[in-house]
Amino acid sequence: MNITVIFFLGLIIALVGVIPPGLLNMTAAKVSLKEGYNRGIAFSVGVCFIVFLQTYIAAMFARYLNNHRDVVEILQRVAFVIFILITIYYLLLAKTSPKPDIEAHTRSSHSRFFQGMFLSAINVFPIPYQAYMTITIATFGWFNFEKISIISYVSGATTGTFVMLYFYIFFFDKIKNKAFTSQKNMNYIIGAITGIVAGVTLINILMDL
């Protein structure tokens, strides 16, 4: 598989994972609004440094699982049920709640970099998410676990995360009052994303039968 294609697969998968407003992208936006773009960027670079390490760990874990297909089959079925339940929750059950107001106290660019690293490190969701998605695209033959492919994918995932954080930093002030960013619509977006992932998981399960 062409490493450029693998890079963009990693970019798109990470981009989709960071679209819903969460602690990292909302904090990046708040820092930028209150302290300027440079400190928002410093925060985002710190986030992406940890994302690179997390995605690499996820790829290594996925490579191990890929060599134990019986374990992968069990995890696929468990993941399918989980994604279906998450989809139902966000599309039908999730309630609208006020957006958290994250206060950004004045700090130096270096401290914002380390803050980004810290908040990213305690957010462990990228590891299982990337491990699962890496195995999924490998199942379709779009990815292999050679070193150059892993580095390309990890670099793409890091870039995709930074692109979405960059979007929040530079455009959040313009779109924060738009319908797109309402909690209800974001619930629908998250539900749609997990629904698509559930559909891909079901296809993989059926292919293995």
Q: What is the pLDDT of residues 48-93, one digit of tens each?
A: 999 999 999 999 988 888 777 677 677 778 777 877 887 787 777 6
How far is residue 52's CA from residue 40's CA, in Å, rounded to a whole number? 18
Per-residue pLDDT tens digits for 152-175:
999 999 999 999 999 888 887 665
Which pTM was predicted?
0.75
Give 72-137 as a DSSP string.
HHHHHHHHHHHHHHHHHIIIIIPPP-PPP--------HHHHHHHHHHHHHH--THHHHHHHHHHHH
Domain boundaries, the chain: 3-208
pLDDT, one tens digit per residue, over 19-58 is 777 788 888 888 888 888 889 999 999 999 999 999 999 9
What's the rounded mean pLDDT across residues 91-100? 58
